[in-house]
Structure 1
Amino acid sequence: MRHITLTIAGLFLSIVPAFADQVLATSKNCMACHATERKLVGPAFKDVAAKYASDKTAVDKLAIKIQKGGAGVWGPVPMPANTQVSDADAKKLAAWVLTIQ
């Protein structure tokens, strides 16, 4: 029984950070244009993660795009700047997006 309890606790602890970062993404309005699994206005986060999977500088690149916006990488609709997102939150969001499969 103790093994099952520890396994469930470990599973819960591994899910909580992912959920917390989705909460952050929602609070910063990322989810208004993005979804984890499908394209909305912007690309699906899983597609962003796949595109940048081998880029070791992806967290920094994406954090800058989160804050300053961007255009042309995913089509004609530009991503607006999100100046309300701090440097730390932008990096946390970028790191989270890169974990989505």
Structure 2
Amino acid sequence: MKRALITIAMTLAVAAPAMADQALATSKNCMACHAVDKKLVGPSYKDVAAKYAGQKDAVDKLAVKIIKGGSGVWGPVPMPANAQVNEAEAKKLAAWVLAQK
């Protein structure tokens, strides 16, 4: 019984931050164009994580793109600027995106 409770507690501890960051992505309307594991209007978060894997400055690069928008990296549809996202939120979102594998 103790082992089961520990396993459940560990699972919740790991899932809670991931869900909190997905909740942030949802609240900032990121999920309207992106999904974790499939392309919508923009690339999946897993594809973004794979593209930027191993790049030391990836969180900062993505945070800037989240705030300012961008174009040409993933095709002809531009990503609009997200003025409702502050720098701390953008870095949190970028770190979460890069953790998707």
Q: Give the distance between the partners of 1:19 and 1:97, measured in 2 at CA.
A: 12
**Deviations along 1:62-100, whole A, 9 cap, x unmatched?**
000000000000001100000110100000000000011
Q: TM-score, normalised by structure 2?
A: 0.98
Q: Give the distance between the partners of 1:15 and 1:62, measured in 2 at CA.
A: 23
List runs of 5+ in structure 1 lacking aligned partners: none
TM-fit CA distance, 1:54: 1.1
**Deviations along 1:23-78, whole A, 9 cap, x unmatched?**
00000000000011111110000000000011110000000000000000000110
Q: TM-score, normalised by structure 1?
A: 0.98
Q: Give the distance between the partners of 2:95 and 2:9, measured in 1 at CA.
A: 23
Alpha-carbon RMSD: 0.6
Identify the residue that residue 26 of structure 2 maps to in structure 1. 26
Q: After TM superposition, what 4+ stretches of structure 1 lie above 3 angstroms from structure 2? A: none
Identify the residue that residue 90 of structure 1 maps to in structure 2. 90
Q: Percent identity?
A: 68
Number of residue pairs the alignment of both structures matches: 101
List runs of 5+ in structure 2 lacking aligned partners: none
Q: Give the distance between the partners of 2:4 and 2:34, measured in 1 at CA.
A: 36
Q: Give the distance between the partners of 2:4 and 2:79, measured in 1 at CA.
A: 45
Q: Give the distance between the partners of 2:10 and 2:40, measured in 1 at CA.
A: 33
Q: Give the distance between the partners of 1:99 and 1:21, measured in 2 at CA.
A: 11
**SS of equivalent residue, structure 1 residue 100:** coil
Q: Give the distance between the partners of 1:57 and 1:89, measured in 2 at CA.
A: 17
